[in-house]
Structure 1
Amino acid sequence: MFDFGNANDAQKLAISSSNGAVLITAGPGTGKTFTLVQRAIYLIQECGVKPEQILMATFTEKAAKELVTRITNELAVRKIYVNVNEMYIGTFHSLCLRIIKDNLEFTQLKKNYRLLDSFDQKYLVFRNIQKFRNIADIELVMLKS
Structure 2
Amino acid sequence: MKNKKTFNLSLLNTAQREAVEHLYGPVLILAGAGTGKTRTVISRLVNMLRQGVKSSEILAVTFTNKAAIEMRERIGQMIPKDVAKEMTVCTFHSLCVRILRKDIEKIGYKNNFTIYTASDQVGLVRKLISRHSAKDESLDHNFAISLIGRSKNKGIPVSDKEGTLIGEIEAAYNNELKLLNAVDFDDLLILAVKLLKEDSSIKNFWRERFKFITVDEFQDTNHKQMELIQLLSGSDQNVCVVGDDDQSIYGWRGAEIKNILEFERFFKSPKTITLEQNYRSNQGILHTANSSISHNVGRRSKSLWSKIDSKENV
Structure 2 length normalisation: TM-score? 0.35
Q: CA deviation at 1:29?
A: 4.0
Q: CA deviation at 1:5?
A: 4.0
Counterparts of 2:74 and 2:66 in 1: how far apart (Å)? Answer: 12
Specify the alignment match of 1:114 in structure 2.
114
Matched, 1:67 2:71: yes
Larger radius of gyration: 2
Matched, 1:92 2:96: no
Q: CA deviation at 1:58?
A: 1.7
Contact 2:20 2:47 in 1 (8 A): yes
Over residues 36-62 of structure 1, what are the superposed CA-to-partner deviations in whole Å (9 max), with x where a residue is unaligned? Answer: 21111111111x111121111122222
Structure 1 length normalisation: TM-score? 0.68
Gaps of 5+ in 1: none
Specify the alignment match of 2:49 in structure 1.
44
Over residues 106-140 of structure 1, what are the superposed CA-to-partner deviations in whole Å (9 max), with x where a residue is unaligned? Answer: 5543232111122433526963997x9xxxx8444
The aligned length equals 134
Q: Return the letter of the residue paired with 2:47.
A: Y
Return the structure number with greater relative CO, CA threshold 8 A, min gap 6.
2
Q: CA deviation at 1:92?
A: 2.1
Flag as ranges the 4+ runs of structure 1 deviating above 6 A. none
Matched, 1:33 2:34: no
Change in Cα spacing, 1:106 to 1:33, as seen in structure 2 (3 Å) is farther
Secondary structure of the residue that 1:55 maps to in structure 2? Answer: strand
Change in Cα spacing, 1:50 to 1:108, as seen in structure 2 (3 Å) is farther
Change in Cα spacing, 1:102 to 1:75, as seen in structure 2 (3 Å) is farther
Contact 2:58 2:88 in 1 (8 A): yes
Change in Cα spacing, 1:107 to 1:54, as seen in structure 2 (3 Å) is farther
Q: Return the letter of the residue paired with 2:8.
A: D
Counterparts of 1:117 and 1:16 in 2: how far apart (Å)? Answer: 41
Matched, 1:15 2:20: yes
Change in Cα spacing, 1:101 to 1:52, as seen in structure 2 (3 Å) is farther
Counterparts of 2:108 and 2:31 in 1: how far apart (Å)? Answer: 39
Change in Cα spacing, 1:17 to 1:62, as seen in structure 2 (3 Å) is same
Q: Return the letter of the residue paired with 1:63.
A: A
Specify the alignment match of 2:233 in structure 1.
none
Gaps of 5+ in 2: 1-6, 133-147, 149-155, 167-314
Change in Cα spacing, 1:96 to 1:142, as seen in structure 2 (3 Å) is farther
Q: CA deviation at 1:99?
A: 3.0
Specify the alignment match of 2:61 in structure 1.
57
Q: Return the letter of the residue paired with 2:45.
A: A
Contact 1:51 1:82 in 2 (8 A): no
Change in Cα spacing, 1:71 to 1:117, as seen in structure 2 (3 Å) is same
Q: Return the letter of the residue paired with 1:111.
A: N
